[in-house]
A and B are shown apart, each in its own frame.
Chain A
Amino acid sequence: MGIMATAESYVIAIGTKKGLWLATSPDRKEWSLSGPHFLMSEIPSIGIDTRNGNTRIMVGVRSEHWGPTVAHSDDLGATWIEPEQGAIKFPDGTDAALERIWQIHPDADSRPGVVWAGCEPISVWKSTDGGEHFELNRGLWDHPHRSEWGAGYGGAAAHSIVVDQSGEKVHIAMSTGGVYRSLDGGASWEPRNKGISAYFMPDPNPEFGQCVHKIAADAAVGNRLYAQNHHGVYRTDDGGENWDSIADGLPADFGFVMLTHPRREGTAWVIPLKADGERIPPDSKLSVHRTDDAGATWKELHAGLPDHEYNAVLRDAASVDTAEPAGVYFGTRGGSVYASADEGETFTEVVSHLPDVLCVRAAVVVGTPAGTEEKANAPVLG
């Protein structure tokens, strides 16, 4: 079966605890599912690179038995390629081994081929060949704070990478360590957490050590970023120099997800969870909340979502696409995936009863994903 290479379609890549599924739709209403790919391996990270009119799906794969690796597909999942020497490997002398790939982030359109990765142990990597080979960012790896960064419940990782248009200003976030910023393209890094609470530490306002769950950049306002913290939702308008709470109006300030609009100023989405000790939606009602004014007000979006839901939505299990209006997508640890074609006003269930959803990425692509029968060349990952 060949790829339908002419029609534009929407794809959702769904990374779970036990493999990858691809959902496709011509209209973001009716979805067809293929998978599992990499059955029994977890997929904690996905990057869909649509620059230059091509589509490359990159996945971080991790087998409990056989370890982590990066694979990519240039034919929407029909075949997968794993670079023979491994895309991400700690170099000699670091005495470290890759545990998990948490983030795969294609850079700006103006820098084709550049892909960033955030990994466990806490590290940032950069590829200039479309994700086939990454180099360790030594500025962060050799940072004097590194021995003091801790591990969140899911592990110690750099999980968010935000690069500005110039390519010089890079913000990353790690759990736990907080937000770090580079003004020289990643050569050097400084913590930028002023205003973000670390209430779980003896000093609740440390220079670093915060448990920032996710950061995302405003689409139109330079130096504006949003953060979903381990309790606390924040915005900075000065590139991380100061963070101010924008949690008023939300039912809870805890959560993992932070999404921003692909084009429009001031628009972001969060998916609150009740509280530190109770990682469930507030009142067990699953809702997305959107701001259109940079956090001054929030609107609850619940149409099409279940009234009773006890599963959390993890930090990377949510995504937006670049269509107009923007699509919003997310998956739960209960294996349900929801899609909205109207910026969250209404959701439809794409699929249910998958394994725990770890990562969701959505994109507008050319062609349709392959069926499961076409994955004969997938790497063997146990």
Chain B
Amino acid sequence: MADFTVLLPGVLQPLVGGQSYLTASADGAVTVGQLLDSVTGDYPVLARRLRDETGALRRYVNIYVNGDEIRRVKGLDTEVAAGQEVLIIQSVAGG
């Protein structure tokens, strides 16, 4: 079993009791989508902040796997290997 860690931006941390990251375990590599399913299972409000009800990642939510923004890889199908960092950051869009 490998452990995976998803780092959260400060603005979302109150939704998970103030934790700065969430963890999940899996055998071998997982996709970002599978990882989000796992770590948000107990946090449905957090899940809705990240993805809409079709499962699509919200437009201004960016997820990085080992420094790569997943939209430039395979989106939610991007694979995460054990030990890789998964980082959620909101876009700086706005005005």
Q: Across the interface, do B44 and A65 meet the contact criterion of CB distance under 8 Å?
A: no
1/0 per position for A51-76, CB-CB distance to B under 8 A? 00000000000011111010000000
| Partner pick for B14 among A66, A89, A98, A380, CB 8 A cutoff | A380
Q: Which of B1-41 contact A (CB under 8 A)?
A: 11-12, 14-15
Q: Please give, as numbers and ranges, the residues of chain B lying within 8 Å of A203 by CB-CB distance.
A: none
**B58 is contacted by which of A67, A69, A82, A379 (Cβ under 8 Å)?**
A67
Cβ of B53 and Cβ of A98 under 8 Å apart?
yes
Interface size on B (CB < 8 Å)? 20
**A89 to B52 alpha-carbon distance, docked (Å):** 9
Q: Is the CB of B45 within 8 A of A379?
A: yes
Contact residues in B for A382 (Cβ distance below 8 Å)? 11, 49, 90
Interfacial residues, chain A to chain B (CB-CB below 8 A): 40, 63-67, 69, 82, 84-86, 89-90, 95-98, 379-380, 382
User: A64, A65, A97, A382 — which one has the most chain B CB atoms within 10 A of its CB?
Assistant: A65
A86 in contact with B48 (CB, 8 Å): yes
| Nearest CB of B to A80, in Å | 12
Q: Looking at chain B's contact residues, is the secondary structure mostly helix, strand, loop, or mixed?
A: mixed
Q: A82-B45, A84-B44, A382-B11 are in contact. Are A90 and B53 (CB under 8 A)?
A: yes
Which residues in A have their C-beta under 8 angstroms from that of B49?
63, 65-67, 382
A64/B94 contact (C-beta < 8 A), A82-B45, A84-B45 known: yes
Identify B44's interface contact among A40, A86, A96, CB under 8 A: A86
The proximity string for B residues 28-71 relative to A, scoring 1 for CB distances below 8 Å and 0 otherwise, is 00000000000000001100111011101010110000000000
- Least Cβ distance of A87 to chain B in Å? 11
CB distance from B59 to the nearest CB of A (A): 8
* Contact partners of B94 in chain A: CB under 8 A: 40, 64-65
Neighbouring A residues of B53 by C-beta, 8 Å? 86, 89-90, 96-98
Q: Tell me the bound Cα distance from A82 to B44 in angstroms.
A: 11
Given A67-B48, A67-B52, A97-B52, 7 more contacts at CB 8 Å?
A: A65-B90, A66-B12, A84-B44, A86-B45, A89-B53, A90-B53, A98-B53
Contacts of A84 in B (CB 8 A): 44-45
Contacts of B56 in A (CB 8 A): 97
Complex CA gap A90/B48 in Å reads 12
Q: How far is the CA of A382 from the CA of B56 in the complex (A)?
A: 19
Chain B residue with the shortest CB-CB distance to A380: B14
Known contacts A65-B60, A380-B11, A380-B15: does B54 contact A96 (CB below 8 Å)? yes
19 residue pairs A–B, Cβ–Cβ below 8 Å: A64-B60, A64-B93, A65-B91, A65-B94, A66-B12, A66-B49, A66-B90, A67-B58, A85-B44, A90-B53, A95-B54, A96-B54, A97-B52, A97-B53, A97-B54, A98-B52, A380-B12, A382-B11, A382-B49
- Min C-beta distance of B41 to chain A, whole Å: 12
CB distance from A90 to the nearest CB of B (A): 5
Determine the distance from Cα of A64 to Cα of B92 in the docked complex, in whole angstroms: 11
Instruction: Look across to chain A and name the residue whose beta carbon is closest to the beta carbon of B49.
Output: A66
A64 CA to B60 CA, complexed, in Å: 7
B45 contacts across to A, CB distance below 8 A: 82, 84, 86, 379
Complex: how many Å from CA A97 to CA B50?
13
Q: Which residues of B contact A67 (CB under 8 A)?
A: 48-49, 52, 58
| Interface residue from A65, A89, A380 paired with B61 (Cβ < 8 Å) | A65
Kindly list chain A residues whose C-beta atoms are within 8 Å of the C-beta of B14: 380
In the assembled complex, the CB of B90 is this many whole angstroms from the nearest CB of chain A, namely: 5
- Expressed in whole angstroms, the Cα–Cα distance for A290 and B45 within the complex equals 44
CA distance A114 to B27 in the complex (A): 48
Least CB distance from B33 to A in Å reads 16
Nearest CB on B from A209, distance (A): 27
**Residues of B contacting A96 in the complex (Cβ-Cβ under 8 angstroms):** 53-54
**Contact digits for B62-95, partner A, Cβ 8 Å, 1 yes 0 no:** 0000000000000000000000000000110110
> How many Å lie between the Cα of A380 and that of B16 in the bound state?
11
Q: How distant is A39 from chain B, measured CB to nearest CB, in Å? A: 11
Distance from A17 Cβ to chain B, minimum over Cβ atoms (Å)? 10
Provide the residues of chain B in CB contact with A40, threshold 8 Å: 94
Provide the residues of chain B in CB contact with A66, threshold 8 Å. Answer: 12, 48-50, 58, 61, 90
A70, chain B: closest CB distance, angstroms: 11
Alpha-carbon distance A65/B51, docked complex (angstroms)? 10
The 10 closest A-B pairs by CB, nearest first: A97-B52, A66-B49, A65-B60, A65-B90, A89-B53, A380-B14, A97-B54, A90-B53, A97-B53, A382-B11
